[in-house]
Each structure stands twice: as C-alpha cells, then as structure tokens.
Structure 1
Amino acid sequence: MHTVEVENLTVAYQKKPVLTNVNFTVPEGKLIGIIGPNGAGKSTLIKAILGLIPKACGEIKIYGKTYRAKDKIVGYVPQRGSVDWDFPTNALDVVLMGRYGHVGWFKRPGKRDTEIALESLRKVGMEEYANRQISQLSGGQQQRVFLARALAQDALVYFMDEPFVGVDAATERAIIVLLNELKEQGKTVLVVHHDLQTVREYFDHVILLNVNMIAAGPTEEAFTMENLHHTYGGKLAFLNKSQVMVEQK
C-alpha cells in the first residue's frame, strides 16, 4: 500500500488552473522533495491533499483511505510566513496544539501530553524556550517550534511547506537530522523545497511540478537535467553535474 496516492488532481482559482491532472504515489518511510519554480503549485498541492482548499477533480488517498482533517496520522508544518506570530502564546502551548488530535479540542492536555510536548521541543533544541512568547523568537527558532508541534502529533505522514526558508545553517542541519530520524522510524515526509543543490543529498524521492507534474520517482531517476529543464524552462544554470541553480531573471 502506498502512503499517499494522488490521481487526476486538478485545482483551480477563479477558473484558472493551478494544478492540472497531477498523478503520483508516495512510498512509505521516505523523504520526498516537492520541487518546482515559484507559482508551480507546490503549496497548493499540499493544501489540496490535506483538504485545506477545494479541488476541481481528482482522488486523494492516504494509506488507502480518503483523508479527513481529524485523522491523527498526518502532521503539517505550514509556511512560516502564513502564521500569525504575534498571537499571544508561548512555545510550549504551540507544541501542545499538536496533541489535540489525541486528547480532543475540548479537553485539556494532561501530564503525559506536556511531557511529549517538552520532549518534542528538546528534539529540536528549543526546550529552554518553552515559556518564551513566540513573537520573541527568531525565524529559525519559530520554525523549530512548528517542527516540534508536528513531532508532538506523532503522525505517520508529515507535510512540510518550505521548512528551510529563512533559517540559518545550524537550523537547516538540525531539521534534516530530524527528518532522517523520522524516516528511520518508518515515517513518510513530503517537503516543499527550493534549493536544488541539496535535493540529491536530502531526498530519496522527488516530485517535479510546474502546474502539470513533470516527473515523480526515486531521486536518481527523476531528478535529471532533462526533467529540470522541463520544470524550470530557461531559468536554470548548471554549474556541473552535481550543482544546479535557478537563475534570477
């Protein structure tokens, strides 16, 4: 059984297609990079899978079943820029929100939930900031808190929308270590990612997207020069066989 199955997915905003006839499957226990230029529909893909935006047509299954928002098997880390960081709450409370799927929205988290939340903060190096207001944290620290919230969910599948954007090198290394730990536990992680030079290092599989799906599969098979040209058009600069970047024009 595949972890995620997407069949004939089309999403449109005001009748303008944002994703068209997207098809792919995701194997279990892998790190999957979702790659493509700005406006390619990468964030839209994640939101459509999670039911956060409507789809025009298509079928989406997670572990063979239609996903429901209340299911506990999925964790989600949104783009940092989409979060109201001025909301008056501390880091621990943000992470505890990841436990609501287990305890219910109308029950207070118990001692065990707090222990799990603190352990999640420890794993991302943020335990000492548990009582710090989130508005007082740096961008990298805020991202680590959201990763901790996803960890506290104890999900089987994780969707992360640009977790490396706006973080320092130390935070990026901490994140990729954490993602590999999740993989070793048999978890599946799908990550929207922009840095083409780290794709081969970070991901087992890739999904190349530009409104239409260009390719999907193991990184060594799908992340090719030909597929990158189809995905980015003439905006690519190849430094050598292992280094590729998007030209800013």
Structure 2
Amino acid sequence: MNPVEIKNLTVAYQKKPVLSDVSFEVPEGKLIGIIGPNGAGKSTLIKAVLGLIPKASGEIKIFGKNYNAKDKVVGYVPQRGSVDWDFPTNALDVVLMGRYGHIGWFKRPSKKDMELAMECLRKVGMESYSNRQISQLSGGQQQRVFLARALAQDAKIYFMDEPFVGVDAATERAIVDLLNELKKQGKTVLVVHHDLQTVKDYFDHVILLNMRTIAEGPTEDTFTIENLHRTYGGKLAFLEKDRVMVNQK
C-alpha cells in the first residue's frame, strides 16, 4: 500500500483551476521532491492533501484511507513566511506542539514528552535555544525549530513546503541530514523544492508539476531535460542555464 495516492485531483480558487486532474502515487521510505515553476500549484497540492483547502474533485488516500488529522501519521512543515513568528512562545513550546496529537490539547506534556522535544531540538542543533522566544531567532533557526516540531510528531509521512528557502548553508546541511535520517527510519518525505541544481543530490523520486502532473518517478529516470522543458514551458533561457549546471554535477 502506497503512503500517498492521488487520483484526478482538481483544486480551484474562485472557479479558476489551480490544479487540474493531478494523479500520482509515491513509494514508501523515499525522499520525494515536488518540482515546478512558481504558480504551478505545489503548495496548493500539499494543503489539499492535508485538508487545509477544499478540493473540487478527485481522491486523496493516505495509506489507502481518507486522511484524518487524528490518525497522527502525517507531519507538516509549512512555508516559513506563512507563520506568525511574533507569537509569544519559545522554541521548546513550539516543538511540544508536535506532541499534542499524542497527548491531547488539554493535557500537560509529561517528562517523557519534554525529553523527546529536547532531543528533537538537539537533532537540529537548537537545544541551547530551547527557552529563546521564536521572534528572537534567525530565519534559519526558526526553520530548524519547525523541523524539530515535525520530528516530535513522530509521523510516518512528512510534507515540507520549501524548507530550504531563505536559510544559510549550515541550516541547509542540517535539513539534508534530517531528511536522510527520516529516510533511514523508513519515513516517507515529500518536499516542495525549487533549486534544480540540488534535486539529484537530495531526492530519490520526483513529481514534476505544473497545474497537472507532467511526470513522476525515480529521479534518475524522471528528472530529465526533456521533462523539465515540459514542466517549465517557455522559460528556456532559465532551463538552458540549469542544464549546464545539472550536467556538470
């Protein structure tokens, strides 16, 4: 049974399709890149899968069932720009939010939950910032905290919406290490990603998206110049530049 199965998914804003008849399946225990130009519907896809926005039609299955947030099988890292970083809370409390699906919203975290949250902060290099207000953290540090929160959820599938955007090299390396650790644990991770140069280094499997599914499959077979041209359309100069860089890697 595949972790995620999408069949004929259509999502529209004000009757204008943003995703049209999208279909794909993803294998378990893989790092999967969702690749496409701006406006292709990548973030919309994730939000539709998670039930954060309504779908017009189609089927979304998580391990063969309709998604239910109470099942605790899915973790989510949103775009950093969509988060209210002025909310008065510290890094440890943000990570503990990832445990609420296990302990309930109206129960206090146990000592075990606290220890697990600190361990998640340690894994992303943020243990010493546990009591720091999130508004006082740098962009890269904030992203690491949200990654730690996702780890604390102990999910089977993770959706990450452009986790590499606006972070420094050290944070990017930390994110890559975390992705590989999740893969070793048998987790399935889907990542919205825009840097074509690093796709082959980071992902086992790719979904090329531009309002519809252009291609999907193992990176080696699917992430080709021909498919990129089909995905990015008329942006040929941009792709020709990336073509040289990709071929040099």
- TM-score range relative to shorter protein: over 0.9
RMSD after superposition? 1.2
Shift of 1:234: 2.5
Q: What is the 5 A alignment of 1:207-222?
A: 207-222=207-222
The corresponding residue for 1:19 is 19
Q: Residue 137 of structure 1 aligns to which amino acid in structure 2?
A: L
Q: Secondary structure at the match of 2:71?
A: coil
Q: Secondary structure at the match of 1:206?
A: strand
- Alignment of 1:135 onto 2:132: no
Distance 2:175 2:94 in 1: 18
What is the percent sequence identity of the aligned residues? Answer: 81
Q: Residue 154 of structure 1 aligns to which amino acid in structure 2?
A: D
Distance 1:103 1:93 in 2: 14
Structure 1: tracts of 5 or more residues without a match = none
Q: What is the 5 A alignment of 1:77-226?
A: 77-226=77-226
The corresponding residue for 1:64 is 64
Deviations 1:147-193 (A, max 9, x none): 00000000000000000000001100110011001001100000000
Deviations 1:70-104 (A, max 9, x none): 22110000000000000000000000000000001
Q: Residue 233 of structure 2 aligns to which amino acid in structure 1?
A: G
Between the two proteins, the alignment pairs up a number of residues equal to: 245
Q: Secondary structure at the match of 1:238?
A: helix
Deviations 1:206-241 (A, max 9, x none): 000010110011001111111100111121333475
Cα gap change, 1:173/1:242 in structure 2, threshold over 3 Å: closer, same or farther?
Answer: farther
Of Structure 1 and Structure 2, the greater helix share is in 2
Return 107-116 or 80-89, whichever deviates more.
107-116
The corresponding residue for 1:31 is 31
The corresponding residue for 1:5 is 5
- The answer to whether the Cα contact below 8 Å between 2:9 and 2:21 also exists between their aligned partners in 1 is yes
Q: Residue 227 of structure 1 aligns to which amino acid in structure 2?
A: N
Distance 1:237 1:210 in 2: 15
Cα gap change, 1:16/1:244 in structure 2, threshold over 3 Å: closer, same or farther?
Answer: farther
Shift of 1:54: 0.2
- The answer to whether the Cα contact below 8 Å between 1:237 and 1:244 also exists between their aligned partners in 2 is no
The corresponding residue for 1:55 is 55
Query: 4+ residue runs of structure 1 moved beyond 4 angstroms?
Result: 239-242
The corresponding residue for 2:239 is 237
Q: Secondary structure at the match of 2:65?
A: coil
- The answer to whether the Cα contact below 8 Å between 1:164 and 1:172 also exists between their aligned partners in 2 is yes
- The answer to whether the Cα contact below 8 Å between 2:197 and 2:242 also exists between their aligned partners in 1 is no
- The answer to whether the Cα contact below 8 Å between 2:72 and 2:155 also exists between their aligned partners in 1 is yes
Q: Residue 60 of structure 1 aligns to which amino acid in structure 2?
A: I
- The answer to whether the Cα contact below 8 Å between 1:197 and 1:242 also exists between their aligned partners in 2 is no
- The answer to whether the Cα contact below 8 Å between 2:228 and 2:239 also exists between their aligned partners in 1 is no
Return 147-156 or 236-245, whichever deviates more.
236-245
Q: Residue 109 of structure 2 aligns to which amino acid in structure 1?
A: P
Normalised by the size of structure 1, how large is the TM-score?
A: 0.96
Q: Residue 190 of structure 1 aligns to which amino acid in structure 2?
A: L
Q: Residue 222 of structure 1 aligns to which amino acid in structure 2?
A: T
- The answer to whether the Cα contact below 8 Å between 2:36 and 2:208 also exists between their aligned partners in 1 is yes
Structure 2: tracts of 5 or more residues without a match = none
The corresponding residue for 2:44 is 44
Return 36-45 or 233-242, whichever deviates more.
233-242
- The answer to whether the Cα contact below 8 Å between 1:121 and 1:130 also exists between their aligned partners in 2 is yes
The corresponding residue for 2:227 is 227
Q: Secondary structure at the match of 1:149?
A: helix
